[in-house]
Amino acid sequence: MSQQVDKTKTEKTGAIAVQVDDLTVAYNYKPVLWDIDLEIPEGVLMAIVGPNGAGKSTLIKSILGILKPIAGSVNIYGKSYKKQRHLVAYVPQKGSVDWDFPTTALDVVTMGTYGSLGWIKRPGQKEKKEALEALEKVGMLPFKNRQISQLSGGQQQRIFLARALVQNASIYFMDEPFQGVDATTEIAIINILKELRKAGKTVIVVHHDLQTVPEYFDWVTFLNVKKIATGPVKDIFNDDNLTKTYGINYKVSIQE
Amino acid sequence: MNIKEYIELLFTDYTLRTITLGTAILGAVTGMLGSFAVLRKQSLLGDAISHAALPGIAIAFLLTGTKDSNVLLIGALVSGLVGTFWIRGIIKKTHLKSDTALGLILSLFFGFGMLLLTFIQKQPNANQAGLDKYLFGQAATLLERDVWLMTIVSGACLVVLLLFWKEFKILLFDSDYTKTLGFNTKIIDILITSFIVLAIVLGLQTVGVVLMSAMLLAPAAAARQWTNKLGVMVFLAALFGAFSGVFGTAISATQNNLSTGPVIVIIAGVFVLFSFVFSPNRGLLFKQIRFIKNRRDLQLHKTLTFMYHIADTHDNVSHPHTVKILNNFQGYTKGTLQKLVKRNLVELDGNMWSLTEEGYKTASNLYNQQNKTDE
């Protein structure tokens, strides 16, 4: 198993982590995403920005096969997503689940190991250890036995992050991880994301706060049903692209 | 018949034993599966399925002419499944919300079933009597082979539940995420739904179309109150369901002419009521007690902090002040002052009060804590 991981690691230097071709998605008749082509290089920390209803979450969900696109293909390191699923981890929006579900923080994080376990096999000592390590990383170890409804919004977000960390993936997709969290949690999360990037992982984040884009991310994609622009933050995060994406004269003072 | 006679009869009377065993097993399996329905927020699905089963019973009778419960239950199973998949189809293909789809299928199938039942009753065939027992159930008609069938289905259900426990749990909690891990959520979903349909159909003979969904929901709703662990919840729901079956049968057997199905459902309802009020963490009673106690503590703390501010202006913290100055403070009553005195935080001397050493310490701690949480 570890040999396999090493092999993929050497293969993907300077590689394209995620390649999306001609992706088109529609709910009923109205297209939500139109003809998206996207190449995400390995090792970037990328923000997906765009107005409400621009299809940011839809893009992530279609890449991950949660939604079925009308057309298009997704490749992860040159092979179809279905074959490379084990390289990808997902952090859904916090509001997408019922937090009154009868389970504990540790239990939710352990769910991150279910994919590698496969059908029927139960998590054992090894999986528990991995889950505890992930809890430690996000600073939630003291809360491991807490019923999840008794956690604050920021703590719930950290639990979701820990669940994805357990998967030990190469590519992380996160849907608004900073939504409704306090400043402390935001800093804790961004530090973890930067650590992931340092370890050579690729992190793709649906992001709302334009002010923090230059500070947090090195890569950005502007999206509004169509792809407006994608590239390094320092090259393309400018008023021109913001105006094109948000449709109004948008001015963001970029700190140099 | 009194309780003693009943217990004696339970060991000697074959019919009573069969019925008791049948209702207990039925309660256990519906309680177990009901936990999943409740957690998936599909509480109404059970109601729709049971009502949707009625035309199947009638059609099975019309086609075969027998009243053999197994044949009729196969009819119920088929039309229950058809109803379930139609509900899913409606939700998926139209803009209708799930409650509308459930209500629509429920009433359409039930109406059609009732139509067929009246049609059957008008037929010049002496054999038709007794089909209406499926409306409200008739536990007395349970035979040993019915109980065997229930046991086999419950056993199969338990095995599947234990095997796919992890898959069920993660699907219930976060189905999108489950997909990204590579699990085929459709298979897990169909597995759960099929067992729910099966359990409902098995209960029709005992509890009937109209009340069946209560067997699914009541034990699960009661169990949720007592625990924050899924495993414990499913176990408790099975236990509550089984006890509802046993007690319900006992009461209906000892009180002449009480219909078993409704009694079982009422017992399950008593479990729910009791759990809603008396469960330690989520129950209304203890919640209210905690709420009141918390409020009183806060009032006390506030008064103490207020006194702390006054005392703090003097070098000697135990310098006496008049009670009058407290009157301007909201939340201060003579009661709170008495309580503070009782706790040794404040000393009272006529119309003058002063903080004790301990009172001053407690108050300054509270004050600092308050500032910390404000940040």
- pLDDT band, residue B313 (cuts 50/70/90): confident
- Alpha carbons B309 and A238: distance in angstroms, whole number: 54
Count other C-beta atoms under 10 Å from residue A115's C-beta: 21
Give the DSSP letter string of B285-340: HHHHHHHHHHHHHHHHHHHHHHHHHHHHTSSSTT--EEGGGGGGSTT--HHHHHHH
Q: Judge if B107 and B141 occupy the same domain.
A: yes
Q: Judge if B295 and B274 occupy the same domain.
A: no
Q: Judge if B92 and B162 occupy the same domain.
A: yes
Predicted confidence at residue A256, as pLDDT, reads 40
Suggest the residue from A82, A104, A111 to mutate for an interface test with chain B (most B CBs closer than 10 A).
A111
Q: What residues of chain B lie within 8 A of the CB of A143, using their CB?
A: none
Q: Which of A13-27, A57-71, B3-17, B248-262 has the lowest mean pLDDT?
A: B3-17
CA distances from A122 to A111, A128, B41, B288 (A): 10, 11, 26, 40
Answer yes or no: is pLDDT of A42 > 80: yes
Q: Judge if B312 and B164 occupy the same domain.
A: no
B332 domain residue, yes or no? yes
- The mean pLDDT of B196-214, rounded to a whole number, is 90
Q: Judge if B141 and B243 occupy the same domain.
A: yes
Predicted confidence at residue B159, as pLDDT, reads 95
Say whether A97 and B173 touch across the interface (CB within 8 A): yes
Over residues B146-170, the pLDDT tens digits come to: 899 999 999 999 999 999 999 999 9
Mind spelling out the 3-state secondary structure of chain A? CHHHHHHHHHHCCCCEEEEEEEEEEEECCEEEEEEEEEEEECCCEEEEECCCCCCHHHHHHHHCCCCCCCEEEEEECCEEHHHHHHHEEEECCHHHCCCCCCCEHHHHHHHHHHHHHCCCCCCCHHHHHHHHHHHHHCCCHHHCCCEHHHCCHHHHHHHHHHHHHHCCCCEEEEECCCCCCCHHHHHHHHHHHHHHHHCCCEEEEECCCHHHHHHHCCEEEEEECEEEEEEEHHHHCCHHHHHHHHCCCCCCCCCC
Answer yes or no: is pLDDT of A62 > 50: yes
Predicted confidence at residue B349, as pLDDT, reads 78
Q: Judge if B185 and B323 occupy the same domain.
A: no
Q: Judge if B115 and B185 occupy the same domain.
A: yes
Q: CB of B233 within 8 Å of any CB in chain A? A: yes
Q: Give me B123's structure tokens.
A: 């037929």
Give Cα B310 distance to the centre of its chain.
52
Predicted confidence at residue B366, as pLDDT, reads 75
Predicted confidence at residue B99, as pLDDT, reads 86
B338 domain residue, yes or no? yes
Q: Judge if B290 and B254 occupy the same domain.
A: no
Full residue range of the structural domain in which residue B355 is found: 286-369
- pLDDT band, residue B237 (cuts 50/70/90): very high
- Among B248, B279, B310, the domain boundary falls at B279
Predicted confidence at residue B69, as pLDDT, reads 83
Predicted confidence at residue A203, as pLDDT, reads 96
- The mean pLDDT of A209-232, rounded to a whole number, is 94
Predicted confidence at residue B68, as pLDDT, reads 83
CA distances from A114 to A49, A123, B63, B175, B186 (A): 31, 7, 48, 13, 17
Q: Share the mean pLDDT of chain B.
A: 87
Residue B280, classed as helix, strand or coil, is coil
Q: CB of B169 within 8 Å of any CB in chain A? A: yes
Answer yes or no: is pLDDT of A10 > 50: no
**In degrees, to the nearest 5, what angle opens at C-alpha B33 toward C-alphas B143 and B24?**
35
Predicted confidence at residue B298, as pLDDT, reads 83
B375 domain residue, yes or no? no
Q: Judge if B114 and B170 occupy the same domain.
A: yes
Selection from B191, B163, B184, B178 nearest residue A120 by Cα: B163
- Alpha carbons A246 and A248: distance in angstroms, whole number: 6
Q: CB of B174 within 8 Å of any CB in chain A? A: yes
Predicted confidence at residue B93, as pLDDT, reads 84
CA distances from A27 to A34, B6, B101 (A): 12, 62, 20
- Alpha carbons B160 and B167: distance in angstroms, whole number: 11
Answer yes or no: is pLDDT of A47 > 50: yes
B161 domain residue, yes or no? yes
Q: Judge if B216 and B343 occupy the same domain.
A: no
Answer yes or no: is pLDDT of A172 > 80: yes
Quick check: A35 and A22 in contact, CB under 8 A? Answer: yes
User: Residue written as tokens 């357990």?
Assistant: A166
Instruction: Specify the amino acid at residue A138.
Output: V
- The mean pLDDT of B225-238, rounded to a whole number, is 95
Q: Judge if B273 and B174 occupy the same domain.
A: yes
Answer yes or no: is pLDDT of B71 > 50: yes
Suggest the residue from B180, B186, B188 to mutate for an interface test with chain A (most A CBs closer than 10 A).
B180
Over residues B92-148, the pLDDT tens digits come to: 888 788 889 999 999 999 999 999 998 888 877 656 667 888 888 888 888 888 899
- The mean pLDDT of B78-99, rounded to a whole number, is 88
CB pairs under 8 A between A and B: 76
Q: Which of A48-57, A168-177, B237-246, B329-338 has the lowest mean pLDDT?
A: B329-338
Chain A residues at the B interface, defined by Cβ less than 8 Å, are 61, 64-66, 85-86, 88-90, 92, 96-98, 101-104, 108, 111, 114-115, 117, 119-120, 122-123, 147, 149, 163
CATH code, domain carrying B117:
1.10.3470.10
Burial class of residue B267 in the structure, from the number of CB atoms within 10 Å of its CB (0-12 exposed, 13-18 middle, 19+ buried): buried
Q: Whole-prediction pTM value?
A: 0.85
Predicted confidence at residue B162, as pLDDT, reads 94
CATH code, domain carrying B346:
1.10.10.10
- The mean pLDDT of A99-118, rounded to a whole number, is 94
Partnered with residue A19 across adjacent β-strands are: A39, A75
Count other C-beta atoms under 10 Å from residue B130's C-beta: 10
- Alpha carbons B57 and B69: distance in angstroms, whole number: 9
B374 domain residue, yes or no? no
- Among B279, B302, B321, the domain boundary falls at B279
* ipTM score of complex: 0.89
User: Looking at the 3D structure of chain B, how many domains does it have?
Assistant: 2
State percent of chain A over pLDDT 70: 92
- Among B279, B304, B323, the domain boundary falls at B279
Suggest the residue from A80, A86, A97 to mutate for an interface test with chain B (most B CBs closer than 10 A).
A97
Q: CB of B39 within 8 Å of any CB in chain A? A: yes
B257 domain residue, yes or no? yes
Over residues B18-70, the pLDDT tens digits come to: 999 999 999 999 999 999 999 988 888 889 999 999 999 999 999 988 888 88
Q: Judge if B123 and B229 occupy the same domain.
A: yes
Over residues A116-145, the pLDDT tens digits come to: 999 999 999 999 999 999 999 999 999 999
Say whether B176 and A101 touch across the interface (CB within 8 A): no
- Alpha carbons A249 and A89: distance in angstroms, whole number: 36
